Amino acid sequence: MDQKMLSLRRITKTYPSGNDFRKVLDELSLEVGKGETLAIVGPSGSGKTTLLNIIGTLDKPDAGELFFEASDLMKMDSGQLPDFRNRQIGLVFQLHHLLPQCTLWENVLIPTLPQKPKNGAVEKRAEMLLKRTGIWEQRFQRPSELSGGECQRAAVVRALINQPSLLLADEPTGALDHENALKLINLLLELNQEQGTALVVVTHSMEIARKMDKVYELKEGKLFLNTEIAFR
């Protein structure tokens, strides 16, 4: 896990605030190693989601550098970024964002459509992940017929279907009860161990944060490594 995969250098992001601007991220730097797990904690409004959106190339900083292995993401254009994101990054949000008109099976295969795979490998991977997450029997049901925990597990499978190098999870357990929240986080960690996918989780829960290799606190636009609450 000592090999660098992702590097953020002096990332700055501001938003309009009345007649002025509010600096959410202030020359923030971060490195994520291959297969590493880390949590980002901090108060509401501190910029955690903004940071995750920048890492996931859903948003761009005002200044700074963002590298994924040898690729300079700041130099990619709007046509290159979606392809990079689809191949390298999996995204899980607090709300599952499954398409209500599609079955669970159809939902998890949506990210594979741009690649037009034809050799059946994607279907085999989908089957493996759905069985691994315990929702294989529900694959032909629609989101309205599933529980919140089942929908969130389906969102995890969808995020992992293209074998990304990095999984970003923004408060993925926020809509779940405590038992299902821990089950989901433990599942993410098991998949991290089995498949080597790096994991970055934004969370308010110290219980969840402690399960990661590293815990960073976002304060006043900068990240601070917290060595007191990372126990895994």
Token pair, residue 40, equals 């980002």
Arithmetic mean of pLDDT over the chain: 90
174-194 pLDDT, tens per residue? 888 888 888 889 989 998 998
Would you place residue 66 in the very low, low, confident or very high pLDDT band (cuts 50, 70, 90)?
A: very high
Of residues 129 and 115, which shows the higher confidence score?
129
* pLDDT at 55 (0 to 100): 95
Indicate the CATH number for domain 4-224: 3.40.50.300
pTM: 0.90
Domain spans of the chain?
Answer: 4-224
Q: What band does 19 get if pLDDT is binned at 50, 70 and 90?
A: confident
Q: How many Å apart are CA 88 and CA 81, to the nearest integer?
A: 10
Looking at mean pLDDT, say which of 74-78, 167-171, 176-180 comes out highest: 167-171
pLDDT tens digits, 26-58 = 999 999 999 999 999 998 888 999 999 999 999
What is the strand order of the sheet 4-17 is part of? 20-33, 4-17, 63-68, 71-72
Mean pLDDT on 194-202: 93
**Res 129 pLDDT > 50:** yes
Give yes or no for residue 231 having a pLDDT over 80.
Answer: no
pLDDT of residue 1: 45
Model confidence over 149-160: pLDDT tens digits? Answer: 899 999 999 999
Amino acid (1-letter code) at residue 92: V
Residue 118 pLDDT > 70: no
